[in-house]
Amino acid sequence: MIPQLSDLFATARVVSLPLATRFRGIDSREALLFRGPEGWSEFSPFAEYDDTEATAWLAAGIDFAWNPTPPLLRSSIPVNATLPAVAVAEVAAVLARFGSCRTVKVKVAEPGQSLADDVARVEEVRRILGPEGRIRVDANGAWNVDEAEHAIHALASLDLEYVEQPCATVPELAEIRERVKYMGVPIAADESVRRAVDPLAVARAGAADLLVIKAQPLGGIVSAGRIVAEAGLPAVISSALDTSIGISMGLHLAATIPRLDYDCGLGTAALLAADVTDEPLLPVDGELPVRRVTPSPALLELHAASAERTSWWYARLIRVWDELTA
């Protein structure tokens, strides 16, 4: 069911949370929160996403607030630390926010940085984790095929678990996967799933070894779970830099997936300098419990977005709800 717009506005709150470290080119994360019969939920497509793309995010938020979650197969989820494209001197401090996670996803291919910067960052992570730690890198589709092959070759000696979205398009992913197969480095698809007209195209093309799945961009727990089942590939459930409320949605998705071979990218509340709850979903011994999150009224007030930004989100909610119901 899709609730009436008035039902969403009855509890809607817009927050702006500062980040501990600049990430994806932003210093704060905005989100619109609302409550339904099942509890609190989140609508937080990034500002640059258009209304059509944002409909899946709203459908996911409504689903989590209004519909019961499918049966859970586990009560806790192993998660990775996420390292922005910071300088080597900052790596240890950022990773310390995540506690003792055994896996780190390292952002690479940052505009204005070089491959040498990426190698140095990953080398520092390997030094901190030791030989048993797991390292995955994420280029967010920034390389062409030749650049990706060169970068993966430069990083392969550091024992990569996989490379996430090295190139932007499905044909490019298929080509780079063939080129680096001899190195034994798997290719993961993220944007080619969550921002694609057909999220299964990358699996059908044999262009990835695993999929990075995010609940909000893929329409919610049931919709995302269906994509995982139909793709037939291992899945890493990840967040979109959500508040703890949005991360809770991702945890519930991860708890419903029959096969969970990899640590999930759901520890990102550690990248926030503030959250909406007194009990944020922060990793403990590399895991997060699967639970609902209720925001603190005091924190909702403290981190309320400006009147201008609140009006912007309310107007966006109206437009996206109109498109979703149409």
Examine the domain organization and report whether 22 and 92 are in the same domain.
no
Does 181 participate in catalysis according to the annotation?
no
Q: Is 112 helix (H, G, I), strand (E, B) or coil?
A: coil
What is the CATH classification number for the domain harbouring 65? 3.30.390.10
Mean pLDDT of the chain: 97
Examine the domain organization and report whether 253 and 317 are in the same domain.
no
Is 42 annotated in a binding site? The answer is no
Examine the domain organization and report whether 20 and 38 are in the same domain.
yes
Examine the domain organization and report whether 181 and 134 are in the same domain.
yes
Mark out the alpha helices in the chain (DSSP H runs). 5-9, 51-66, 91-96, 115-129, 145-155, 170-180, 191-194, 201-204, 221-231, 244-256, 297-302, 307-325
Examine the domain organization and report whether 217 and 307 are in the same domain.
no
**What's the pTM value of the predicted model, to 2 decimals?**
0.96
Q: Which of 121, 194, 214, 252 is catalytic?
A: 214
The count of other CB atoms within 10 Å of the CB of residue 206 is 13
Does 105 participate in catalysis according to the annotation?
no
Instruction: Note the pLDDT of residue 90.
Output: 97
Mean pLDDT score, 2-7 = 97
Examine the domain organization and report whether 144 and 27 are in the same domain.
no
Is 159 annotated in a binding site? The answer is no
Instruction: Note the pLDDT of residue 26.
Output: 87
Q: Which of 13, 97, 107, 316 is catalytic?
A: 107
Examine the domain organization and report whether 316 and 252 are in the same domain.
no
Instruction: Note the pLDDT of residue 74.
Output: 98
Burial 144-168 (b: 16+ CB within 10 A, else e): ebebbbebbeebeeebbbbbbbbbb
Instruction: Note the pLDDT of residue 25.
Output: 81
What is the CATH classification number for the domain harbouring 273? 3.20.20.120
Q: What is the pLDDT of residues 290-315, one digit of tens each?
A: 999 999 999 999 999 999 999 999 99
Is 138 annotated in a binding site? The answer is yes
Examine the domain organization and report whether 156 and 224 are in the same domain.
yes
Q: What is the pLDDT of residues 234-253, one digit of tens each?
A: 999 999 999 999 999 999 99
Structural domain containing residue 91: 76-289
d(CA 269, CA 281): 6
